[in-house]
Amino acid sequence: MSIQALNKTHLDAMMAIEVAANQFPWSYKNMESCFSGRYFNFGFFIADELAGFYIGEVAGPDITLMDICVDHKLQGQGVGAKLMTHLLAQAEAKGAENIFLEVRASNKAAIHLYDKMGFCEMGIRKNYYPTAEGNEDAVLMGLPFNPFAKHM
């Protein structure tokens, strides 16, 4: 098991995990666009197989978790927590002041993980995510990380 930086050669594996785990997955084009300068992408590998990943974005002195996804067969086994721990280490290395994320209000398992990692609810984005019945709210969460850091 290891966490490694991802590149565009991993896109197909990332998309396979994304599509299997989400009713409304990112598009290939959206995921591909996250391999430019302000994004950083890491994957959790078991042997040589991608088991989960995250996409982070540097925005000024802050980091935004754009996407985190774990192979549906491995959810609930600590992969997400390992990826989040790695994200926090990356934020520290980059001198981030805050980390932000949005999560579906119905995704109680993810909200519980983020709570355990120290994130707190900062607001609600009404009708943000599509659903089969219309839309659902996003919970905006944040973690004040390093308020005395120099800007990245």
Binding residues for acetyl-CoA: 107
List phi, psi (to 5°) of 17: -65, -45
Q: Are 11 and 31 in contact (CB under 8 A)?
A: yes
Q: Choose the catalytic residue: 18, 54, 97, 102.
A: 102
Q: How many CB atoms lie within 10 A of CB 120?
A: 10
What residues contact residue 151 under an 8 Å CB cut-off, 6+ apart?
A: 60, 61, 95
Catalytic residue at 121? no
List phi, psi (to 5°) of 25: -75, 165
d(CA 91, CA 94): 5
Q: Choose the catalytic residue: 114, 121, 128, 133.
A: 114
Catalytic residue at 102? yes
Q: Where are the alpha helices (DSSP H) in the chain?
A: 11-21, 28-32, 79-94, 108-116
Active site residues: 102, 114
